[in-house]
Structure 1
């Protein structure tokens, strides 16, 4: 179903953009109409093939798949810019002496914005700091620093070299522990022999802890878990530990995979906490679903960390994401519960982020 939607909308935008671009004088003078049409047809066929192949494969199929996802992102940005130009010029009926120049300017703006979006997605994530007063935190742990990252989406494109930059950024925060909030991989294990060594480079005296996201279960989840365990990562799959004396860390498996298996959204959380939480507690749950937030509040959990939304990734899709999830990005409160939804370190689909780059969280805990 998803590929059908991509085919329909991608095709419509492809037709619109290629038609409007051919109104630009510089293109019409140098490219014959027949050549332009054949080129547009060839790109469209590659796009359709790439959508069918997908971009999660680690072999040659990644290239057409990644082209398709990036192309639809480019088409969207170009469509927005060109549509704005059409509205300003009344689709060519106003400013007839200048409407082709307006179209050319809109096309140039679309290219520049697309390039900026690619840069924002591919750069090393920025550090975003949060200071959290955590109920029940012992005074001795005041000032404890945790680093959290979500949605790395390691795979064919983001591999060990990119992750090495992320590791260096995290190590610079000098965290007591590192928390990975799901979607560590695109779908399948990376099969990158250098990745375990890179992961072992994370310096956190209280360890590196992870929960699963939906993308782990789109592929070989067991293989991904084993691959990260080789790098010293420990998984919290409906489990909890005492991270430091008086500070508890819990994690639940991806709720989407549980639903696909016939379970319920709250199955893992209810099994983990049959009674309210005691003391300072941090819960990691990849998807910030409203039922999970409400149950965490009822259980007296102090801090809930999630990812999944990517902050909408490309504006204005953040507004669409907000219709599905109560919190898209940043810190929030639900009664006594505090939460943070990170927009993630990597990206999915189009390798684009507009307007904000990926992020790594630096969380400083404060005693009441």
Structure 2
């Protein structure tokens, strides 16, 4: 069903953009209509073939699949720019002498924005810092630095070498602990022996911890978990651990399946934290579902970390994503609980981001109690 939707949307965008571009006089004067539409048809066939092949495979099939996903992203941005020109000119009904020029300007803008979007997705994630006051945090842990990274989407686009660069970024922060908050892989396990070696280079005295996201379950989830465990990553699957004296870390297994099936996706949290807690608690949950956020705050969780939304990834999808997840990205206060949602370090689908780049979170914990010594920096 998803591929059918992509086929329909991609086809409409493709031929709309092709049709508007052929209104540009230099193109129309230099390329005969049959040749133009033959070329447009050929690229469309490549797009359809790429969608059918898919871009999650880790062999040659990645190339046509990734072309298709990036192409639909480019066509979307191009279509937005061209649509503005069409609306201004009434689709050529008025300002007829200016319409081709405005379409040309819109096309140039579309190419520029698409190029910028690809650059934003391919550049190194930014390190975004948040200082968070936790009401139950012991004074001795004031100043503790943590790193959270979500939505790595390791796979065909990003391999162990890319992850190694992220490890270097994280180690420069010198965190006490590292949290991987879901969608570590695109779908399938990475399948590279080098991954374990790369992950073992992470330096975090309080450990490297992970929870599953929806994409882990699109492939062989147990194999993915084993791959990361081989690199020293410890998984929290509806379980909790004392991270440091007076600081609890809890992690939820992905709730995406329950959400898609209309089930009660707060059951895992209710079993994990059956009642309000006065202990400083950090909760890792990949999807920041509104009911889950409210329930976590009611249970006295001090800090909830999530991802999944990608911050909308490509404008203006952020407005659509925000309809389902009101807290789209960044730091929010929900009652006494701090909620931080990451845009993610990787990307999904088109390797494009417009406007914000990917991010790695540096979190500095502050105690609401009497300040004490700074620990584990």
What residue ranges of structure 2 are gaps of 5+ in the alignment? 369-377
The more displaced of 147-156 and 265-274 is 265-274
CA contact (8 A) 1:126 1:360 kept: yes
SS of the residue 2:124 aligns to: coil
Give yes or no for the alignment of 1:344 onto 2:344.
Answer: yes
SS of the residue 1:96 aligns to: coil
The more displaced of 281-290 and 96-105 is 96-105
- For 2:262 and 2:237, locate their aligned partners in 1 and report how far apart those are by CA, in whole Å: 17
Deviation at 1:276, TM superposition (A): 2.0
Provide the alpha-carbon RMSD of the alignment: 1.3
Residue-by-residue CA offset, 1:39-75 (whole Å, 9 max, x unaligned): 1111111211222222111112211111111111001
Aligned to 2:133: 133
Residue-by-residue CA offset, 1:210-241 (whole Å, 9 max, x unaligned): 00000000100001100111111110111111
With structure 2 as the length reference, what TM-score do the two structures score? 0.95
- For 1:263 and 1:195, locate their aligned partners in 2 and report how far apart those are by CA, in whole Å: 35
CA contact (8 A) 1:146 1:363 kept: yes
CA contact (8 A) 1:135 1:279 kept: no
- For 2:38 and 2:235, locate their aligned partners in 1 and report how far apart those are by CA, in whole Å: 51
Aligned to 1:298: 298
Residue-by-residue CA offset, 1:75-105 (whole Å, 9 max, x unaligned): 1000011111112222223332232121111
Aligned to 2:374: none
CA contact (8 A) 1:142 1:365 kept: yes
Aligned to 2:17: 17
- For 1:236 and 1:135, locate their aligned partners in 2 and report how far apart those are by CA, in whole Å: 24
Aligned to 1:221: 221
Deviation at 1:277, TM superposition (A): 2.3
Give yes or no for the alignment of 1:355 onto 2:352.
Answer: no
Aligned to 2:321: 321
Runs of 4+ in structure 1 off by over 4 angstroms are 258-263
Aligned to 2:59: 59
Aligned to 2:122: 122
Matches within 5 A, 1:22-171: 22-171=22-171
- For 1:202 and 1:131, locate their aligned partners in 2 and report how far apart those are by CA, in whole Å: 22
Deviation at 1:312, TM superposition (A): 0.3
The more displaced of 240-249 and 31-40 is 31-40
The more displaced of 328-337 and 349-358 is 328-337
Residue-by-residue CA offset, 1:258-293 (whole Å, 9 max, x unaligned): 456896301211111122223110000000001111
SS of the residue 2:282 aligns to: strand
Aligned to 2:372: none
Deviation at 1:5, TM superposition (A): 1.6
SS of the residue 1:172 aligns to: helix
Q: 1:106 to 1:263 in 2, by over 3 A?
A: closer
Aligned to 2:184: 184
What residue ranges of structure 1 are gaps of 5+ in the alignment? none
The more displaced of 301-310 and 161-170 is 161-170
- For 2:275 and 2:157, locate their aligned partners in 1 and report how far apart those are by CA, in whole Å: 43
The more displaced of 163-172 and 220-229 is 163-172
- For 2:278 and 2:216, locate their aligned partners in 1 and report how far apart those are by CA, in whole Å: 30
Matches within 5 A, 1:302-313: 302-313=302-313
- For 2:259 and 2:320, locate their aligned partners in 1 and report how far apart those are by CA, in whole Å: 22
The more displaced of 272-281 and 318-327 is 272-281
Deviation at 1:31, TM superposition (A): 2.1
Deviation at 1:252, TM superposition (A): 0.4
SS of the residue 1:5 aligns to: helix
- For 2:171 and 2:264, locate their aligned partners in 1 and report how far apart those are by CA, in whole Å: 37
- For 1:295 and 1:323, locate their aligned partners in 2 and report how far apart those are by CA, in whole Å: 19
Aligned to 2:371: none
- For 2:30 and 2:243, locate their aligned partners in 1 and report how far apart those are by CA, in whole Å: 65
Counting matched residue pairs gives 368
SS of the residue 1:323 aligns to: helix
With structure 1 as the length reference, what TM-score do the two structures score? 0.97
